[in-house]
Structure 1
């Protein structure tokens, strides 16, 4: 096949919006005390009044408890390598957590001391040329970055960057100490500084770093002192102490959602900052330790959301202008752009001057947000007699919820650990269900790996996980970054599994109902990014995957045949995530328009004589980001503020209420007779569903420029 005829139109989304209020706050040191962060559960309690001295009475910031939290409570833990990784790569999700009043703790692994010079790039180049660079002051620069982060969070939470904080040193389960900052006006907002030494190099050889610690080139890395900080004890971190410290924090807070950076950003080892990559791998190990050692009766279930780092700037902007402006506002505050006194006239600075030259980051990090591998919308399935199943990943294990009639039960964990956050379900011939995912195994360089796995339903339930391994020809580094699998079944009943490898090409493996699998096939496709998507259309398989500039397609020429080579669809650039469904004899793609967040669709069919036609049209709809789930004219996805937006009839036709908060992963929708079920796994790690009866699209279409 030489090409596709492409017709594009917009998908309308009526959204449930919420106002994003600005926030207030100010940086001061005040005294507070806290119980040690051990492997126990704590719940937030009111902060008592304390005077600013180190010897002031110590209020209890948490009250100890051994029970799991009440239904619907949300506790979020963000773990990043450096001060500003959260603002660049996790916003607007962090802002919305604050807006929703969620209990939010952001953990910074390193002190972010870099070269110890708090000057912007232009001045640094000028001073260097004059031979007048100031001496390095790593404790001082680390404090300036802390000041900027406190100001940015205070502004998001209260509207004022000068809203005061309570700062205190606390012991950790790793045997060291950390600085805990609690926002006085909004005590559910907390910052926790572990102050490990940073690599001070994005890609270079830096043995005294998280990378060196992971690889075993050093046995420990020291903590970096922060000027005027409450932590005065000198100590070091071994690999075990890093994991123990993080597992202790998780055990203390008992989160329902953990946000972290991408531990495997691709075949190129220079794809991201080494602190981001190896810090995230220590977080993975700590999550596994926490899930295994803290009984489920003493903690809630949790989900994990993983974010791309430097790579996110390679793609077109994912956020609409308004959301990008709010994100940039926090970065400007962090960078101390207006030079206001946020921090009591500290001579070391109230923010990070290094980002002054380029506050939007390289490749416009401020204009985008992207999840790593968390883009599956194929996890909700309907069954006979109105039954339904939803699949997710909780505590590092696959989970299933079952609906009989109108009643949901679950979650039931399927066993097997290390399951990555995305699971895709497919109905097999005969009615059984197969569940596909990737699994990360190993906590040392020697055994750290990722593989594609699947489990099949039988009368006794789901069986053990089976590995589909990965081709020997793929480098070990490239195999680490395999995407979430796309799965479909063709007319002959064969299963087709597609993954993108870390070299940004597509791989396929096919299997039969008897459990036999063929070898992995290399399907090529240069520059494949994100997750592929696949669909069966009248017995023929279509596969699509985004590149930076367009979308590639692979098509089976006839029912039951293998897909052919990659072909350009000539579609415009997307924001990366795709969703696909069958529409008559065509495949219907859904994606976001860069820079607007508007949802677009493309009807794709083989083109005669290799001629490709594009007719671009759009329908008015909500701005947002991330993938959209679509069926029977109903769409569900993130609105601009990160909350759920759903198209379809709104009002008396709804049964139940749509979920209004942040959620983990992506929505899924399924048509069940005359109604459509919409489901998300909320930030509370619980399944939330709503039913749209008799869906009808009905939106106004208008032409836009190609």
Structure 2
């Protein structure tokens, strides 16, 4: 196969960036624990936001007593917190491209509690809100005295026990005159902090919320402030229902310190920008430690040490939406699924190019944003995901197009530690079995199969594997045999169904590269040979491998020429002419596409940008008229689609349109 040689220009012409209207004016709210969290963990995604109204919420003052630098530059935790606030302002101005910034600082009341709102005068769409709660590292704060709690304790203990957390300046050891009296002497119960955040979303009409990871591993307890911030964000978004209650709000959570254990996935250019963002936050170098950058605003971090440097080249969302969140129902109508307003929403074509929705999927609250969609042998659509409350694998199937049966729990292959379960993948096999695959506690793959006319078995089958990272992918080769791909520590592991429909693992990985969180997509060439696509971790552009004429897979990835840098999964689809097409979220936050120049050959070296700014990964599919359709969640918190004007890979796209209402 010719890999990346352009023998003909791709016929995709760029569509207008905004061909439609927003369901609601976009506003992105970021909720973090500390003043540097969004810079380190939501970046480079946040670089795409600052042309839109963006509100960053800092729950704690960051007033640690153990990390104030040589000579104890700050006399009190209040003074340290205030200096970190200056760093947050400096970084936000730098991200917005504002030099010599000035800020308007205003006390704001949210559900009866007063927080500080800072507005960037030169770019007033940029706002910061400081709640000024005590930080877990503040040794002067009596974390267990008189039912005083830090952020994570407050979240876990609940409001009924009397536990509460106070703002800086409430306790005698906070710093006295260094503390800001208008924000002191306040306490929050769990219910009050949740209500204040919900009121904040209502005040700013939030459509997208970026939050910290609330995922708790028994083997890795994580940072308590981060976990508390993630939990409060999860609960407060669930209590909020979009601007004016229109249900248009999407939560996207990000991993934090544990990304150091993953493969780098941010390109060198954006890594450099992220490093500079962190330096802006730290402030001008004080120069009091020879050979070490020592910031003015936050004196403690060494931005070039082994702890901080991995963050610049990494960004990982906790529950990525992936590329398999749409399907064609038994009537041939495209149907899309995504978590919005804290529940699974469904959008359905009423006719090709016209959509209705979103409509809540019954019982779809409290589910992870990673959804696996497949079409059952009956033609009905099936959705599989993880229930966040207990990490049970959950599945539901239509009883008729547009109608749904009850949810079924498939349990968890890791009852001793269910948090280790991975994102599910689901395949309808050629023998009409439906199989669900997940990562298990032994870091291999477990599967559970629904045989026609039978119920789900009690036990999970162990398919083997080792050091599987998370994102499984499935498909069917042209022969009809199932294919399973699992990114792992040794590379991409591969299983294929044999003639007895049993899953057999290859003797070695498809790649020899150690992979981090890699999301694989599969498509079949016109001659039936399977091909996979993923973001190459050594250089975050699109890579591919394929089956050769003898049935063996290529042993190393090939990079598609001129591929834009991307952090999300690659969506793939094959229209009627047999030429594979791909869609990715590019470095500008929009969607770029590419197609094979002919059946069974390589891809064009041009990637037209279809415009828009989206959240997560796009999906790509073919509708009943044979046209390619790109689907994406935009910053207004709902679905938008971009459809070809006619069938045929070279046909142009007509522009983005709001799907439903």
Aligned residue number for residue 52 of structure 1: none
Q: CA deviation at 1:229?
A: 4.2
Q: CA deviation at 1:302?
A: 0.9
Counterpart Cα distance in 1 of 2:2 and 2:376: 31
Aligned residue number for residue 200 of structure 2: 249
Q: CA deviation at 1:169?
A: 2.0
Find out whether 1:462 has 2:416 as its counterpart: no
Structure 1 segment 352-501 matched on structure 2, within 5 A: 352-358=298-304, 361-362=307-308, 364-382=310-328, 387-403=333-349, 404-416=351-363, 417-441=365-389, 449-459=390-400, 461-471=402-412, 473-475=414-416, 478-501=417-440
Write out per-residue CA displacement over residues 279-323 of structure 1, whole angstroms, 9 at most, x where no aligned residue: 2112212122224xx8x8534411111111112122222111111
1:179 aligned to which of 116, 119, 136: 116
Aligned residue number for residue 694 of structure 1: 648
Aligned residue number for residue 144 of structure 1: 83
CA shift in 2, pair 1:460/1:15, >3 Å = closer
Q: CA deviation at 1:503?
A: 6.1
Q: Do the aligned residues in 2 keep the contact of 1:117 with 1:135 (CA within 8 Å)?
A: no
Counterpart Cα distance in 1 of 2:237 and 2:442: 28
Higher relative contact order (CA 8 A, sep 6+): 1
Q: CA deviation at 1:569?
A: 2.5
Aligned residue number for residue 629 of structure 1: 571
Find out whether 1:96 has 2:48 as its counterpart: yes
Find out whether 1:109 has 2:49 as its counterpart: no
Counterpart Cα distance in 2 of 1:156 and 1:664: 19
Q: CA deviation at 1:137?
A: 2.1
1:602 aligned to which of 525, 530, 545: 545
CA shift in 2, pair 1:230/1:545, >3 Å = farther
Counterpart Cα distance in 1 of 2:619 and 2:553: 31
Deviates more, 1:324-333 or 1:499-508: 499-508
Aligned residue number for residue 588 of structure 1: 531
Aligned residue number for residue 675 of structure 1: 627
Structure 1, unpaired ranges of 5+: 1-6, 20-68, 125-131, 341-347, 442-448, 651-656, 698-706
Write out per-residue CA displacement over residues 115-173 of structure 1, whole angstroms, 9 at most, x where no aligned residue: 26432xxxx4xxxxxxx65675211111111111100101111332x311111222221
Counterpart Cα distance in 2 of 1:73 and 1:148: 29
Name the SS of the counterpart of 2:368 in structure 1: strand
- Give me the TM-score of the superposition, normalised by structure 2: 0.81
Counterpart Cα distance in 1 of 2:188 and 2:348: 44
Aligned residue number for residue 276 of structure 1: 226
- Give me the TM-score of the superposition, normalised by structure 1: 0.77
Q: CA deviation at 1:637?
A: 1.0
Counterpart Cα distance in 1 of 2:560 and 2:128: 42
Name the SS of the counterpart of 2:544 in structure 1: strand
Counterpart Cα distance in 1 of 2:560 and 2:402: 44
CA shift in 2, pair 1:685/1:514, >3 Å = farther
Q: Do the aligned residues in 1 keep the contact of 2:36 with 2:88 (CA within 8 Å)?
A: yes
Name the SS of the counterpart of 2:437 in structure 1: strand
Q: CA deviation at 1:495?
A: 0.8
Write out per-residue CA displacement over residues 33-57 of structure 1, whole angstroms, 9 at most, x where no aligned residue: xxxxxxxxxxxxxxxxxxxxxxxxx
Deviates more, 1:546-555 or 1:485-494: 546-555
Deviates more, 1:540-549 or 1:624-633: 540-549
Q: CA deviation at 1:231?
A: 3.6
Q: How many matched pairs?
A: 597
1:512 aligned to which of 445, 451, 467: 451
Name the SS of the counterpart of 1:368 in structure 2: coil
CA shift in 2, pair 1:395/1:135, >3 Å = closer
Q: CA deviation at 1:355?
A: 2.3
Name the SS of the counterpart of 1:187 in structure 2: coil
Q: Do the aligned residues in 1 keep the contact of 2:567 with 2:585 (CA within 8 Å)?
A: yes
Structure 1 segment 611-690 matched on structure 2, within 5 A: 614-620=555-561, 621-632=563-574, 633-648=580-595, 660-672=611-623, 674-690=626-642
